[in-house]
Amino acid sequence: MKLQQFDSEIAWADQIARRWCERLQANPRLRLCLPAGHTPVRVFAAMAKFVAQGQVSFREAEVFTLDEYGGLPAGDLGRCAQQLRRGLIDQIDLPPERFYFFDPGAENLEAECRRYDRAIGRGFDLTLLGVGLNGHLGMNEPGTPTDATTHRVTLHGTTVAAAREYLTHEQVPTWGVTVGLKHLLTAKEVWLLACGAGKAEIIQRTLKGEITPDVPASLLRTHPNSFLFLDAAAAGLPAEPV
């Protein structure tokens, strides 16, 4: 895993977006798997700006939602697909048919998971991931088998607690659907994104601890083309003097 570290969250987001632009310019048909949540918000905003400026286009790309909460109405603002729409998809020129997302309310959830696997097909060119406080990737919680494809998962307590921060009501989901570790670990390129002091401890475990499914993020150290993008706080560095 190659480490890329930046002095501030603003520089962190800007440089990730610029590198993302380079990947899209080199391969306009890039197949992407993208996360929701707080971590990529600044990155998405910077990327949307580059699209608006005409520096890059998503017209030929494909975007797959990394995961989705179960038990929430289709239009709920807390749904991962809805977060992605607000933060990025509605701001760029991606054709609607090139945006893939889950239907966790499907009558046959197993069939829905297999549908998503078929859509993923040959895999992802670039996957962007956040990291949970327990080391999860997507909703692949600690202990998830490395050969897992798209599947239903019961969310750990820390994941449920984190979800409360951006859901619009008191009810929080206890389960979800996620792209499996097999798809993530076989992507051509994987970027793990972390910012803020709250992620410093799990980043140290990811970088220096045992490589184990009990800390799914640590498995990216075995990937031949993975990058870890950190701001100073997530790296555990002291704040710059004002």
* Residue 54 within any structural domain of the chain: yes
pLDDT at 240: 47
* Residue 242 within any structural domain of the chain: no
CATH code at 129?
Answer: 3.40.50.1360
Q: What is residue 174's three-state secondary structure? A: coil
Quick: pLDDT tens for 106-163: 999 999 999 999 999 999 999 999 999 999 999 999 999 999 999 999 998 877 777 6
| Structural domain boundaries, residue 150 | 2-231
* Cβ contacts of 68 within 8 Å, gap of 6 or more: 79, 80, 81, 101, 102, 104, 176, 177, 178
Q: Report, as an integer, the average pLDDT of 35-55.
A: 96
* Residue 155 within any structural domain of the chain: yes
Task: Return the closest-CA partner of residue 104 out of 173, 200, 184, 35.
Answer: 173
More confident residue, 4 or 77: 4
* Residue 85 within any structural domain of the chain: yes
* Cβ contacts of 37 within 8 Å, gap of 6 or more: 80, 83, 130, 162, 166
pLDDT at 160: 75
* Residue 194 within any structural domain of the chain: yes
The token pair at 196 is 């803020």
Classify residue 26 as left (phi > 0), alpha (psi -120 to 50) or beta.
Answer: alpha
* Residue 238 within any structural domain of the chain: no
User: What's the number of domains the chain is made of?
Assistant: 1
* Residue 240 within any structural domain of the chain: no
Cα(129)–Cα(131) distance, integer angstroms: 7
With a pLDDT cut of 70, the percent of the chain lying above it is 94
Task: Return the closest-CA partner of residue 173 out of 157, 187, 190, 184.
Answer: 157
* Cβ contacts of 106 within 8 Å, gap of 6 or more: 112
Residues annotated as part of the active site:
67, 134, 136, 141
Quick: pLDDT tens for 164-178: 666 656 667 889 999
Model confidence at 239, pLDDT cuts 50, 70, 90, reads very low
Q: What is the pTM for the complete model shown?
A: 0.93
Model confidence at 102, pLDDT cuts 50, 70, 90, reads very high
* Residue 241 within any structural domain of the chain: no
Long-range contacts: 83-91, Cβ < 8 Å, 24+?
Answer: 83/36, 83/37, 83/166, 84/34, 84/36, 87/36, 87/40, 87/41, 87/44, 87/45, 88/34, 88/44, 88/47, 88/48, 89/63, 91/44, 91/48, 91/51, 91/52
